[in-house]
Each structure stands twice: as C-alpha cells, then as structure tokens.
Amino acid sequence: MYSFKDITDGIDSILHLFLNDTFATLAELILAGLALIGAYAVLALTLIYAERKICAAFQCRIGPSRTGKWGVFQTVADMIKILFKELIRLDHNDRFLFRVAPFIVIIASMCTFAALPFAKNLHAIDFNMGVFYLIAVSSLGVIGILLAGWSSNSKYTMIGAMRSGAQLISYEISAGLSLLAVVILSGTMKISEIVEQQSEMWFIFRGHVPAIIAFFTYIIAGHAETNRGPFDLPEAESELTAGYHTEYSGIQFGFYYLAEYLNMFIVAAIAAVMFFGGWMPLHVSGWDGFNYIMDCIPSFIWFFGKTFACVFIALWVRWSFPRLRIDQLLNFEWKILMPICLINIILMSLIVVF
C-alpha cells in the first residue's frame, strides 16, 4: 500500500536539521494546520460543485455550465464574491455572540476534520479515545447554532436554532450508539487501530447483521445531524427564510455554508472509516492476485472513493424525499431509531462474546 510515512518523516528530519525540537514541533503544527485548512476549503468547494451537478441530474437540469469548463469554477467565483460581500450590522442584537457563533461552528467542524485518517500514515491526530473525541467535538457545533439563533434577535433564527438544538441533541444519541457497536466489535476506540483491524475484511462484512444495521442507523442519524433534507427543519426555507443564519451575511454566512458541507463530508468519512476500512483496500481471503491488484491502488484513493460514495448516498436521499414535520422527525428518533440502536448493541455484544 502507498504510505505517506517517508514524506512525513522527511519533513520532520528537515525541520529538526535547521531548528531545535521546540521550534521544529511548532513548525510541524503550523504546517499541519495550514494543510488541514487548505484541504477543508478545497473539499468544501468540490462538494458544493458536486451537489449542484448531482442535484441537476436528479431534476433533469444541467447545473453550473458557464464559469470554466463544465462550470467547475462557479463555486470559486461564488467564494470570491462572498468574501467581498458587506457584513450587515444589525440593531438590537448581541454583537459579541453574533460574531463569535460562526467561529464556534467552524472550529468544531475543523477539530473533527483533523481526526480523520486520509491515507496510510496521513493522520493529523490519533488519540487512543479517537471515537469518543469525534463524538464529543462534533457535538460542539450546536452551541454556535444556538448562539446564532438567540443573538440575532429574530423569531425566524430563534425557531431555527431551537429546532436545530432539539434535532442535533436527539440524533447524536443514535449516531453515538451506532459507532459504539463498531467499538464493541473492534475492542478499541483508537481510529488507526480500527482501520488496521479491517485489513483482511471490512467491518460491514465481518460484523454480520448488527454491523449492517449500525451502518444504516448511523447514516440516517448523521444525515439528520448535518441538517440536510429531509431533515432540514432548522433551515426550512419555506417556513423560516433560512433558519438560524437568516441574519448573517458575507463571510459570516460563508462560515455556516462551509461547515454544513464539510460536516456532510465528515459524516461520510466516519462511515467509511468505521464500516468500510477507511484507506484499507478490499481483500478477499485466498484471492492473492486480486488482493495484490487492490494493494496497488493508493490508500488515499480508497479513502476518498468510499467517502464520496457515502456522500452520494446522502445527496440521493436529500433530493428524493420531502421534508418531515418536526414531530415526525423527533418521534422517528426517540421511538424508532434509538430503540433499534440499543437492541443492535446487545446483538453485537452477543456476537463478540460467543
């Protein structure tokens, strides 16, 4: 498999050659941060373009077609435009919290993004409680959403924020329980070890029926956490104008827009890592020739291929189903999805024990 260990070790050696240990470590942290920010921005632009094209295909339209070949630079043009948009100042709002809220959302998204293993030996942070870290940090974004709704001093933003708080807190439970089933199967919460254990067979195949149930419950719960249709109650345009970020403009609105698309990527990436082996290739026991061919495919292609397949599923669902009512959404979580996840954990535990 293609590994980035030689590259990262080479950068580390060069920095230690010219700097002492403290400044070399600081330089590595800065380089890692810049790389993550660059990847964050590029992936967001790619996902926006992909959704526009996929949405157009579902609705028998063309999508972006004029700015660049096949409209590939349309999202870049939109990004440049939003950077120069005026930041509209509101009266009678809490200005400090209004300005801080978008940063909380983007920081929570970035911290979760940093924990993803993009390829073999290309992992910014790898805690021994990695799954717990992902669940904990990803849940911080709802604080920024609640602050945005309250500080804007608008009934539309407040209703959207209350819906988002109820929805995210509810569906986080099912998402966490679904990942807990994989933790029980693997016996560890360290993400790199979970990926390594899938070198011979991915958990979606090794975990029997409980792993398949956990995957579908996680996809549903993760889709709801990203506020995407049919779970887009916090942003219901026909009811709330734009929901909790109605009063935002310019780059402040851009932060929410950016975080929404990257959260969709993060949910898909976690599904790829926990159920489909992350950057691990597909191996079949006894098929040495087939396994060798799979090993020739670079690890980062495996990771992004699996992730974008899960992203496509999310887009497919969004453009195929109508929006739910808020009571239907919460009833589905507390009365259907969460009991299924709890029963599934028991089944997974029995499989592991016996």
Q: What is the pLDDT of residue 302?
A: 92
Q: Quick one: what percent of the chain has pLDDT higher than 90? A: 34
Picking from 126, 105, 132, the residue whose alpha carbon sits closest to that of residue 114 is 126
128 alpha carbon, distance to own chain's centre: 20
Which 3 state secondary structure label does DSSP give 302?
helix
Mean pLDDT computed over 174-181:
94
Quickly state the pLDDT bin for 203 (edges 50, 70, 90).
very high
Measured CA to CA, the distance from residue 213 to residue 216 in angstroms comes to: 5
User: Is the CB of residue 255 less than 8 Å from the CB of residue 262?
Assistant: no
User: Is the CB of residue 244 less than 8 Å from the CB of residue 235?
Assistant: yes
Quickly state the pLDDT bin for 254 (edges 50, 70, 90).
confident
Q: What is the pLDDT of residue 193?
A: 92
Picking from 91, 51, 43, 87, the residue whose alpha carbon sits closest to that of residue 71 is 51
Across 256-327, where does the E strand assignment appear? none
pLDDT tens by residue, 277-315: 888 898 887 788 888 888 888 889 999 999 999 999 989
Q: What is the pLDDT of residue 163?
A: 85
Quickly state the pLDDT bin for 213 (edges 50, 70, 90).
very high
Measured CA to CA, the distance from residue 1 to residue 106 in angstroms comes to: 33
Mean pLDDT computed over 322-328:
84
User: Is the CB of residue 231 less than 8 Å from the CB of residue 82?
Assistant: no
Residue written as token pair 């956990």: 214
- In sequence order, the 6+-apart residues with CB closer than 8 A to the CB of 258 are 40, 41, 44, 106, 109
Quickly state the pLDDT bin for 125 (edges 50, 70, 90).
confident
| DSSP-derived secondary structure for 50-91 | HHHHHHHHHTT---S-SSSGGGTTHHHHHHHHHHTS--PPPS
The token duo for 322 is: 């109508």
Quickly state the pLDDT bin for 238 (edges 50, 70, 90).
low
Measured CA to CA, the distance from residue 15 to residue 329 in angstroms comes to: 52
User: Is the CB of residue 296 less than 8 Å from the CB of residue 339?
Assistant: no
Measured CA to CA, the distance from residue 246 to residue 164 in angstroms comes to: 14
Mean pLDDT computed over 151-155:
84
Across 75-214, where does the E strand assignment appear? 117-119, 122-123
Measured CA to CA, the distance from residue 154 to residue 30 in angstroms comes to: 39
Residue 245 DSSP symbol: G
Measured CA to CA, the distance from residue 95 to residue 45 in angstroms comes to: 29
Q: What is the pLDDT of residue 215?
A: 95
Q: What is the pLDDT of residue 1?
A: 59
Mean pLDDT computed over 95-104:
89
What residues form DSSP beta bridges with 122?
Answer: 119
Label residue 46 exposed, middle or buried (CB < 10 Å: 0-12, 13-18, 19+): middle
Half-sphere exposure of 203 (CA within 13 A, CB side): 31
The whole-model pTM stands at 0.91
User: Is the CB of residue 108 less than 8 Å from the CB of residue 140?
Assistant: yes
- For the chain, give the mean pLDDT: 88
Mean pLDDT computed over 197-226:
91
Mean pLDDT computed over 235-250:
75
Angle at 339 between CA 338 and CA 343, to 5 degrees: 120
User: Is the CB of residue 246 less than 8 Å from the CB of residue 160?
Assistant: yes
Measured CA to CA, the distance from residue 14 to residue 205 in angstroms comes to: 43
- In sequence order, the 6+-apart residues with CB closer than 8 A to the CB of 103 are 144, 255
Helices (H), 198-242: 203-206, 208-225, 237-240
Q: Residue 309 is which amino acid?
A: A
Picking from 170, 174, 188, the residue whose alpha carbon sits closest to that of residue 132 is 188
Q: What is the pLDDT of residue 139?
A: 86
Q: What is the pLDDT of residue 237?
A: 66
Mean pLDDT computed over 83-107:
85
Picking from 42, 57, 45, 40, the residue whose alpha carbon sits closest to that of residue 312 is 57
In this structure, what are the phi and psi dihedrals at residue 135, rounded to the nearest 5 degrees? -65, -40
